[in-house]
Amino acid sequence: MSDTVRVGILGASGYTGGDLIRLLAGHPKVEIALLTAERHAGASVDSVWPHLRGAGELPALIALEDVEWPAVELDVIFCALPHATSQDVIKGLLHATGHSLLEEMIAESPGDLAESFRGEARIIDLSADFRLRDVETYERWYGQAHQAPDLQAKAVYGLPELYGADIRDARLVACPGCYPTAALLALVPLIRAGLVETDDIIIDAKSGVTGAGRGLKQQMLFSEVSEALHPYGVGHHRHMPEIDQELSVAAGKPVTVSFTPHLVPINRGELETIYVRLRRDARAADLRMAWENAYGDAPFVSVLDDDAVPATRMVRGSNQCILGAVDDRIDGRAIVIAAIDNLVKGSSGQAVQVMNLMLGFEETDGLTQLPLFP
Amino acid sequence: MSDTVRVGILGASGYTGGDLIRLLAGHPKVEIALLTAERHAGASVDSVWPHLRGAGELPALIALEDVEWPAVELDVIFCALPHATSQDVIKGLLHATGHSLLEEMIAESPGDLAESFRGEARIIDLSADFRLRDVETYERWYGQAHQAPDLQAKAVYGLPELYGADIRDARLVACPGCYPTAALLALVPLIRAGLVETDDIIIDAKSGVTGAGRGLKQQMLFSEVSEALHPYGVGHHRHMPEIDQELSVAAGKPVTVSFTPHLVPINRGELETIYVRLRRDARAADLRMAWENAYGDAPFVSVLDDDAVPATRMVRGSNQCILGAVDDRIDGRAIVIAAIDNLVKGSSGQAVQVMNLMLGFEETDGLTQLPLFP
Amino acid sequence: MSDTVRVGILGASGYTGGDLIRLLAGHPKVEIALLTAERHAGASVDSVWPHLRGAGELPALIALEDVEWPAVELDVIFCALPHATSQDVIKGLLHATGHSLLEEMIAESPGDLAESFRGEARIIDLSADFRLRDVETYERWYGQAHQAPDLQAKAVYGLPELYGADIRDARLVACPGCYPTAALLALVPLIRAGLVETDDIIIDAKSGVTGAGRGLKQQMLFSEVSEALHPYGVGHHRHMPEIDQELSVAAGKPVTVSFTPHLVPINRGELETIYVRLRRDARAADLRMAWENAYGDAPFVSVLDDDAVPATRMVRGSNQCILGAVDDRIDGRAIVIAAIDNLVKGSSGQAVQVMNLMLGFEETDGLTQLPLFP
Amino acid sequence: MSDTVRVGILGASGYTGGDLIRLLAGHPKVEIALLTAERHAGASVDSVWPHLRGAGELPALIALEDVEWPAVELDVIFCALPHATSQDVIKGLLHATGHSLLEEMIAESPGDLAESFRGEARIIDLSADFRLRDVETYERWYGQAHQAPDLQAKAVYGLPELYGADIRDARLVACPGCYPTAALLALVPLIRAGLVETDDIIIDAKSGVTGAGRGLKQQMLFSEVSEALHPYGVGHHRHMPEIDQELSVAAGKPVTVSFTPHLVPINRGELETIYVRLRRDARAADLRMAWENAYGDAPFVSVLDDDAVPATRMVRGSNQCILGAVDDRIDGRAIVIAAIDNLVKGSSGQAVQVMNLMLGFEETDGLTQLPLFP
């Protein structure tokens, strides 16, 4: 067995794909063996991502249909395709290749990882397709029937700080959305510790523009976004059911949150200001204590002391999540704040962290870059 | 009586002062007769505000102590001085000039406006100094005793849509802060109509950088603010007691709000996302109806239809406040959104609107500029 | 004859169209009678341009093919359609309507303006279609034969400060591009006065993003442009031949300039730094003098004194062009700087200025807004 | 001898100091042993630079006067103090400590590096103080006599691609300014190869805001810079004599350039568009060839192919310099473009590169981070 694993990125020309290349090119135990992109098939990475010209030898981008499965011999497949496409691709690959790496992938877990590694690729999906355990919920929010419900049932929700053990044994991991990542890291320990009421959680989220992807939409043009600020998807953003789902697991009962995202003219960065009603005379200090207990060893979650509040500039370009809590002026309420880089901890960095866990690497491999400020 | 009034701006080199010049230079019934600025005394407006070089004939900036009272013969004084300085200046002027325009100013209101106009200047203060009716509250939040409690007692809170009648007869008006302006325009009609609970109001505010003024602070440098986002003053921002004060008036009982401002990398614009618990099975549509009832004739408040949400780009450079309401996913809750330009409706534009009311002008005089987008 | 003229804007949903509405809605002698937009046909102005909701009564957007010519009875047509489309539209209208307002429009000029006004609309084209006098040059740079060479021959180049007299009598005016506007206002008086060598003119231009229009291009997404800076169209930008053409007229011999535009992450604003070799021992002061002589009465050109340099913030949202000159360190060279708002003096504002000249209005009607800073 | 060297950063609270910490904290052969900052003395790195909270164990900031020389036992001192302060500090240290590490530092070079390492610290100065070889030139541009002319005479100009051999043996290196770095990397090989005229070099430079440092100046406030663009220091920017100096060395005769910097609303990034007159019928392709010859092995200079132009987004956060050349429309002229991150290759990254050379490390140690885009 080689000392590096071979990874592929499906959808390498989007922001998520680009940041995956940036992180994986610096990963000590990884070789990037496959990069797909439909419109840019045939192009070099340099031409699509000029900032990556110093990334070393990389394969040219090819169309997904031109990938030579299984000859490409991947150990890990990062699927950074658009929502709804991911499930088709994975299902399609499965049917196309018969008794293949992908069919095996969803078979029962093999005995010895070291033996069975190559040929049984792990799939890390960065789309929304496998995040919702209930395919009916998926259908309601995404407006179409799920194309791969069997795979869905085997997918693990890829938030390492909460599901580390499951991720280690998983063959298909659905990485969380950026908004759910911040919300769940902040709220799950508080709910598990019984510190907050679960029927009165208000999440006011603010995100940089890369969260909307690289697709062409008028509302994402520079001139529309710059010097401007507004909420969007009020009452119907697709990350809501994902947050509900995981908070319900934590609470042991159905939870519905209030969630309002806002678009802010920055490239990277996501901040959630969460308003909670406290239980049992808890104070902000108790919330911090609950986080410390939950994340004592976690390399990518930091809890700020009393008077400090998270800011997106603390995490730009890094895989960190910063948490803070302050007592509210309204008795019995607290303000909880979480900051992440939506493209890293909210997407590509988290996917690399998931890979590290799946393959028994150091959790921080490839993720040691400090934030860039200014 | 001339067909224009003579106005002075104390503190003409800050952003608020600059925007006052911009608006008043285009006002059909105003002559700018005095501009003060301490560090820039002696300079022309062009040199301090190069964008105003086309504003026509304007007096040079002079130091406040060099103003020749009462020879300057002002009808209206806009006081755009820093907090805590305003009260000293106004009090000082009062003592220095004896039986003066300013002493008269706080005497009982004269009979006929047309007769008594000149010589009894109206003062429109844009600082925080006269906003809090209770001087003890002032002292607690501003860390010093109020220097002019008598004047305080006579000041009118200058939110035209709520206190129009009082403003018409006032000699000293304290213009609201930018955050309170948006919050009160959104909330007061809802509280008056009994539609929202007053003990569970959560205001998540986002503001452009000009709200912090033109003073030199490291955290306001471009490199600190750009590509970044963070909350500030969590739990102790000075606009809180002002919001409490006016909501308490509206509710007829003490109200304490949760209020968390965030700094966003834009120049102008303020957005408040307000989370309210509804009373009496009210829905978002009822909130919109309450606004329509309250603001039917108001030229500077607009209520959006069902699915539209306010955005700061709708108001950039204009005196408009845009309101919207959406039902929350949590039963019995609604999300209320208000957008203003913090320098215009949140400061200088509102001051001009106040002047228009005081002097019996058209409320929109000098304030008809459409927003600038992009 | 009514006291307002009826104007139409073809292409009202682009940035140029939007800024035309903003300016014309505040014009004292204009009624906006027609707005066309293909994709948004049927929509209200509010829905396409929420910032214009306070603009008063405006017609809904309709598709160009649904315009009822000549019943709409326009006095002025602003054509803000994409390049190459303009010529087809104007030519198409001509053929479609027979003996129509448009055919007459290109007939010889009528006698009395007051009599013949209605029914013989003036056309102000904001596209590039009629800017190049030589249709072969047009074909070379735009890759297609010109569709309306006859109309081309009758078009007047719409830079009011240089061609005011021609514009007054014109029926079809081709408004200059934003880059040529700044370059020509800076250079033509210097060339006419024989102060600069014409074979060594280097124009380094920087522009805000709205100059690229509202079309969907990946390179105009916020995340691509923000926090970034780069030259584009190096050696082949389409504004080059337009600059050459007009400088050649001024010089009386062929002139070829070096022109390199750069994209800067701002919405509005264009700055050109022009490096010239001086003739006859001229100094920067002589350049300023030449401008003063040329623009003494011009309301929209300002010349800065010695040590001041133009900045885009001096013109944001206004129709001003600011000029400055500084002696270079290299003997016999000077640095000339021009700043405009690319959407106003570089496009829509200039078009309104052109209309004012054509119709004998005050040149500044509808263009008195001061710049917005910050 | 330990396997890491001990480094100190004087002036750790400015942007240059902060980026030095970021880079050095990730350097495999370095231990950060000293951090000084006057106003922040006593503070932790976390509190001054919250984004560096994940940087591992770092010493607290102390005042310069509290440093225990020579007990702190530094191998390398990075001096990131303000201009004019650096020379005083270095001279002062020298006098204060007698037969000290710093006196030895300016003694003649020792024999064996490995033996003499500790106790003879290398000084890498990031200020302008030791860049100008001629102290009279220094005095003329900086308005004061140089305080350490002897040290000046021994300083090496720290542009590794040009002075690598000298840097290896130096005890005091003066790192170039950001503007000179880009200009010299672009121009020196062209001048050395005799491809460009040296009396007609026009440099139009655009820089992000961090180049101005973290000091409090009104013109660097977000609201002044955002959505704006302007030239500054036209005719008298202090980087001019530094560029002249090094181009004169390359040309073997005095060279005076035209240099005009512009402030652009981005945090990081510097782009220089350089207009050159070619010699000997050279074309842009010849310029590229000259660069390839000069920089064949250099890890931090990249030359773009024909039609590609450098952009700042290609280098954000990295130590790369990207070069491109295009033939101008004016015969015999070419346009040369260089892009760097002003804080990295223009300052802190270059200083680390210098250190690597001085100490015989891999030139890329600690500098392998890929650019961050978006």
Q: How far is it, in rounded angstroms, from Cα C48 to Cα A217?
A: 15
* pLDDT on residue A89: 87
**Residue B176 DSSP label:** P
Count the Cβ atoms, other than its own, within 10 Å of residue B179.
25
Task: Tell me the H-state helices in chain C.
Answer: 15-25, 45-48, 85-97, 101-106, 113-116, 135-142, 149-154, 160-169, 178-192, 222-225, 240-251, 284-295, 349-359
Q: Give me the residue from D22, D315, D370 closest to A22, CB to CB.
A: D370
Dump pLDDT digits (tens) for D119-152: 578 999 999 999 999 999 999 999 999 999 988 9
Scanning the structure block, which residue is given the tokens 């405009």? Answer: C340
Cβ–Cβ gap B228/A200 under 8 Å: no
Q: Contact at 8 Å (CB) between A160 and A345?
A: no
- Please name the amino acid found at residue C299: P
Dump pLDDT digits (tens) for C4-19: 999 999 999 999 999 9
Q: Contact at 8 Å (CB) between D261 and D179?
A: yes
Q: Contact at 8 Å (CB) between B187 and B201?
A: yes
- Map residue A334 onto helix, strand or coil: strand
Q: Which chains touch D (3 or more CB pairs under 8 A)?
A: A, B, C
Q: Give every CB contact of residue C295 below 8 A, 6+ residues apart in sequence.
A: C161, C189, C301, C303
CB contacts of D229 in chain C (<8 Å) are 206, 208, 264, 266, 269, 271, 311-312
Pairing relation of β-strands B122-125 and B156-157? unpaired
More confident residue, C73 or C307: C73
Q: How far is it, in rounded angstroms, from Cα C233 to Cα B325?
A: 46
Cβ–Cβ gap C312/D259 under 8 Å: no
* pLDDT on residue D70: 81
For residue A291, the distance in angstroms to the closest alpha carbon of chain D comes to: 17
Pseudo-torsion of CA D308, D310, D312, D318, nearest 10°?
100
List beta partners, residue A132: none
Structure tokens, C227 = 């926090």
Dump pLDDT digits (tens) for B336-352: 999 999 999 999 999 99
List beta partners, residue A204: A260, A273
Q: Give the model's confidence band at C3: pLDDT under 50 very low, under 70 low, under 90 confident, else very high.
A: confident
Q: Give the model's confidence band at B116: pLDDT under 50 very low, under 70 low, under 90 confident, else very high.
A: very low
Average pLDDT rounded to a whole number, residues B194-209: 98
Closest listed residue to residue C126, CA positions, set C69, C60, C72, C82: C82
Q: How far is it, in rounded angstroms, from Cα D344 to Cα D369?
A: 11
Q: How far is it, in rounded angstroms, from Cα D374 to Cα A22?
A: 11
Dump pLDDT digits (tens) for C42-65: 999 999 999 999 999 999 999 999
* pLDDT on residue C120: 73
Cβ–Cβ gap D231/C265 under 8 Å: no
CB contacts of B302 in chain C (<8 Å) are 53-54
Scanning the structure block, which residue is given the tokens 């040199």? Answer: B47
Average pLDDT rounded to a whole number, residues D156-169: 96
Q: Give every CB contact of residue D59 below 8 A, 6+ residues apart in sequence.
A: D32, D33, D34, D35
Counting beta carbons within 10 angstroms of the beta carbon of residue C314, is it exposed (0 to 12), middle (13 to 18) or buried (19 or more)? buried
Q: Contact at 8 Å (CB) between B280 and B194?
A: yes
pLDDT at A54 over 70: yes
Instruction: Classify the phi-psi angles of C245: left when phi > 0, otherwise alpha if psi is within -120 to 50, otherwise beta.
Output: alpha
Let me know how long chain A is.
Answer: 374
More confident residue, B320 or C107: B320
pLDDT at B251 over 80: yes
Q: How many CB pairs under 8 A join A and D?
A: 84
Dump pLDDT digits (tens) for A300-323: 999 999 878 999 999 999 999 999
Q: Which chains touch C (3 or more CB pairs under 8 A)?
A: A, B, D
Q: Which chains touch A (3 or more CB pairs under 8 A)?
A: B, C, D
Q: Contact at 8 Å (CB) between C30 and C366?
A: yes
For residue A374, the distance in angstroms to the closest alpha carbon of chain D comes to: 6
Q: Give every CB contact of residue D71 below 8 A, 6+ residues apart in sequence.
A: none
Q: How far is it, in rounded angstroms, from Cα A257 to Cα A199?
A: 7
CB contacts of A220 in chain C (<8 Å) are 221-223
The per-residue pLDDT of chain C, averaged, comes to: 91
CB contacts of A226 in chain C (<8 Å) are 209, 222, 226, 265-267
Let me know how long chain C is.
Answer: 374
Dump pLDDT digits (tens) for D43-67: 999 999 999 999 999 999 999 999 9
More confident residue, B137 or B280: B137
* pLDDT on residue A2: 63
Q: Contact at 8 Å (CB) between A274 and A187?
A: yes
Q: Give the model's confidence band at C95: pLDDT under 50 very low, under 70 low, under 90 confident, else very high.
A: low
Average pLDDT rounded to a whole number, residues A11-40: 97
Counting beta carbons within 10 angstroms of the beta carbon of residue D363, is it exposed (0 to 12), middle (13 to 18) or buried (19 or more)? middle
Detail the DSSP E strand segments found in B200-310. Answer: 202-207, 230-231, 258-263, 270-277, 301-303
Dump pLDDT digits (tens) for C181-193: 999 999 999 999 9
- Map residue D339 onto helix, strand or coil: strand
Q: Give the model's confidence band at B207: pLDDT under 50 very low, under 70 low, under 90 confident, else very high.
A: very high
- Taking each helix axis as running N to C, give the angle between helix A240-251 and helix A178-192, from 0 to 180 degrees, rounded to the nearest 10: 20
Cβ–Cβ gap B52/C370 under 8 Å: yes
Average pLDDT rounded to a whole number, residues B317-332: 96
Best A199, A203, A209, A260 residue to mutate vs chain B (most B CBs within 10 Å): A260
For the beta sheet containing A122-125, the strands, ordered from the edge strand earlier in sequence to the opposite edge, are A30-36, A5-10, A76-79, A122-125, A172-174, A156-157
pLDDT at D117 over 50: no
Structure tokens, A71 = 């000859």
Q: How far is it, in rounded angstroms, from Cα B143 to Cα B369?
A: 39
Let me know how long chain D is.
Answer: 374
pLDDT at B135 over 60: yes
Q: How far is it, in rounded angstroms, from Cα B261 to Cα A263?
A: 16
* pLDDT on residue D90: 80
**Residues of C near B (CB-CB distance < 8 A)?**
15, 18, 22, 25-26, 49-55, 209-210, 226-227, 267-268, 302, 308, 311, 313-318, 320, 343, 368-374
- Phi, psi (5° rounding) for residue C215? -65, 160
Q: Give the model's confidence band at C364: pLDDT under 50 very low, under 70 low, under 90 confident, else very high.
A: very high
Dump pLDDT digits (tens) for A158-186: 999 999 999 999 989 999 999 999 999 99
Which span out of B97-106, C304-313, D220-229 was modeled with the highest average pLDDT? D220-229
Q: Contact at 8 Å (CB) between D174 and D157?
A: yes
pLDDT at C106 over 70: no
C-alpha B143: how far from chain center = 22
* pLDDT on residue C93: 67
Annotated catalytic sites of D, by residue? 178
Count the Cβ atoms, other than its own, within 10 Å of residue B28.
11
pLDDT at A103 over 60: no
Q: Give the model's confidence band at D69: pLDDT under 50 very low, under 70 low, under 90 confident, else very high.
A: confident
Task: Tell me the H-state helices in chain A.
Answer: 15-25, 45-48, 85-97, 101-106, 113-116, 135-142, 149-154, 160-168, 178-192, 222-225, 240-251, 284-295, 348-358
DSSP state letters, C95-113: HHHSSSHHHHHHSSPPS-H
Cβ–Cβ gap C221/A218 under 8 Å: no
Q: How far is it, in rounded angstroms, from Cα B335 to Cα D374?
A: 32
* pLDDT on residue C69: 83
Cβ–Cβ gap C262/D273 under 8 Å: yes
* pLDDT on residue D121: 85
* pLDDT on residue A112: 36
Q: Give the model's confidence band at B1: pLDDT under 50 very low, under 70 low, under 90 confident, else very high.
A: very low
Element (H, E) at D350: helix D349-358
Q: Give the model's confidence band at D95: pLDDT under 50 very low, under 70 low, under 90 confident, else very high.
A: low
Dump pLDDT digits (tens) for A104-163: 544 544 333 333 334 578 999 999 999 999 999 999 999 999 999 988 998 999 999 999
Task: Tell me the H-state helices in B84-142.
Answer: 85-97, 101-106, 113-116, 135-142
The per-residue pLDDT of chain A, averaged, comes to: 91
Q: Contact at 8 Å (CB) between C259 and D329?
A: yes
- Map residue A47 onto helix, strand or coil: helix
The per-residue pLDDT of chain B, averaged, comes to: 91
pLDDT at C104 over 90: no
More confident residue, A287 or C84: A287
List beta partners, residue A203: A259, A274
* pLDDT on residue B362: 97
* pLDDT on residue D13: 97
Q: Give the model's confidence band at B98: pLDDT under 50 very low, under 70 low, under 90 confident, else very high.
A: very low
* pLDDT on residue B109: 41
- Sign of the dihedral through C-alpha C293, C297, C301, C304: positive
More confident residue, A103 or A196: A196
In chain D, the domains with their CATH numbers are 5-154 (3.40.50.720), 179-345 (3.30.360.10)
CB contacts of A268 in chain B (<8 Å) are 227
Q: How far is it, in rounded angstroms, from Cα A233 to Cα A262?
A: 9
In chain C, % of residues over pLDDT 90: 83
Least confident segment among A207-211, B235-239, D38-42, D290-294: B235-239
Cβ–Cβ gap A333/B258 under 8 Å: yes
Structure tokens, C251 = 């010089």
* pLDDT on residue D94: 60
* pLDDT on residue D273: 98
For the beta sheet containing B270-277, the strands, ordered from the edge strand earlier in sequence to the opposite edge, are B230-231, B258-263, B202-207, B270-277, B333-340, B321-327, B301-303
Its ipTM equals 0.94
Structure tokens, C198 = 């014409």
Cβ–Cβ gap D260/C335 under 8 Å: yes
Q: Give the model's confidence band at A93: pLDDT under 50 very low, under 70 low, under 90 confident, else very high.
A: low
